[in-house]
Chains A and B, each alone.
Chain A
């Protein structure tokens, strides 16, 4: 099993550009999440999904969108990149009471 795979690992965006952060898991987990982590800070929940076709907002959803058309994939969309979105983005998945499995992260810089 590959676990949770995130692509790309690094990206530099210009202000106003758009991009999609990809996340896929091969563990057949129902629950998937997107977090961001600013330098020296903890993780903030952006969006989460409890199953295909179901998504909901977390703590910091503004400026982002998600979709969950399959169990495996949970992409995160940035429509108009802003410098405040410079961060490390982590995707995770879980199955009910079991712990989360995190991906290795995408390091995004908006200039």
Chain B
């Protein structure tokens, strides 16, 4: 099962900020929070990730609460092209240890379907 909980759908007015919440109350200390989006049957697209500090890139901002049990993805000025399903994922990815390589299976939940409305 996915380790995150997201609302199934949200609406946002074009030009306004879209704030997408994600709960991950069982997150471990070494797990990152990742966000992806999938625009209508295309391959998912990586947006942003973080461990415990807030992060910003050219696409979005990621706000992680101090206890790391929840986070919010912020699209500062939503456009119609931001209409998509947004996935929040927590995972330890690609950690190498000693003679072996550990890997945490990344599980995609159902995500949040964001509709940007003109």
Contacts and interface: CB of A to CB of B under 8 A. Distances in A.
Contacts of B99: none
Interface stretch (A10-18, A63-71, A87-95): A87-95
Interface residues of A, number: 31
A45 interface: yes
A30 to B, nearest CB: 7
B49 A105 contact: no
A48 B93 CA distance: 12
A97 B43 contact: no
Given A30-B94, A96-B93, A99-B46, A42 B36 contact: no
Contact of A90 (B2, B44, B49, B106): B44
A4 B95 CA distance: 22
B108 A99 contact: no
The range of chain B's interface size is 20 to 34
A101 B46 contact: yes
A35 interface: yes
Nearest to A40: B110
B80 interface: no
Contact of B42 (A31, A51, A101, A105): A105
Contact of A102 (B34, B43, B111): B43
B42 A104 contact: yes
Interface of B: 2, 32, 34, 36, 41-49, 87, 93-96, 101, 103, 105-111
29 contacts: A30-B94, A31-B93, A31-B103, A33-B106, A35-B108, A41-B110, A42-B110, A43-B108, A44-B108, A45-B105, A45-B107, A50-B103, A54-B101, A58-B105, A59-B105, A88-B41, A90-B43, A90-B44, A94-B93, A96-B95, A96-B96, A97-B94, A99-B46, A99-B47, A100-B106, A102-B44, A102-B45, A103-B43, A104-B42
Interface of A: 4, 30-31, 33, 35, 41-45, 48, 50-51, 54, 56, 58-59, 88, 90, 92, 94-97, 99-105
